[in-house]
Amino acid sequence: MCRHLAYLGPPTSLAELLLSPAHGLLRQSWAPRRQRNGTMNADGFGAGWYAPGDPVPARYRRAVPMWADASFADVARVTTSTAVLAAVRSATPGTTPDEAAAAPYRDGRWLFSHNGRVDGWPGSVAALAAQLPPVRLLSLEARVDSALLWALVQERLAAGDSAADALAAVVEGLSNTTTGRFNLLLTDGTTIAATAAGDTLCWRSDGAGTVVASEPSDDAPGWHRVPDGSVLTATRNDVEVRPLSVPARTRPDLP
């Protein structure tokens, strides 16, 4: 499992988004409140953000727990952005432990994260890999289930799908192939798309900025739970949620 977050809104520091909240992503790396699978997210972390005038987001990724990286705290204190995607990682067994396996993954203007797992990894890889052209397989950033799901999303984006349609198509297609937990999160710096498919997802928007996250970072009002089996589209001042056409096949012990 993992925990992740995406933000669109006025310029805000990474520290304010990720480190300062009482139950923010930093705290979720060792004490998540709504995570049902696993108790910690200490197998790495990453943050991606957009700078003015540059459509390609910057990334900071490490293979250590977020709390163990004092340098990130310093970077986060002085780095502000209007669009951020960040995640803390709990690695799927059998996947690589290096920082290349930590979200966010990047392709041009896109940032992507996966909260969940593909059941049966790595034995389940063949059926998923068969859906991809060789050039896409050769470009996988890491030997990890999340990177393979990202490749499937990239194929849909390259075919012209919108962000939400790309995520929905991948999750709906997985129902014919495997089981697992498929909460996907994607942004291009202007729009956020996300799926709730096997784990918790919520959002908060105050009309100026929007946060989409695995779980609330504080106990303030305004957080909304996304129903399982849904796909979300958000801008900095609007959020829409619709059901997936074909719910993902999740494990029986999940909601």
d(CA 129, CA 132): 5
Q: Could you tell me which residues come within 8 angstroms of residue 138 by beta carbon, excluding any fewer than 6 positions away?
A: none
Other Cβ atoms less than 10 A from the Cβ of 175: the count is 17
Q: Which of 2, 5, 8, 102 is catalytic?
A: 2
Alpha helices in the chain (DSSP H): 14, 25-28, 70-78, 125-129, 134-138, 145-158, 163-174
The CA radius of gyration of the chain, in Å to the nearest whole number, is 16
Tokens of 67: 């709390």
Residue type at 185 in one-letter notation? L
Active site residue 202: no
Tokens of 157: 């984006």
Classify each residue of 114-141 as buried b or exposed e, where b means 16 or more C-beta atoms within 10 Å of its C-beta. Answer: bbbbbbebeebbeebeeebeeebeeebb
Query: Could you list the active site residues?
Result: 2
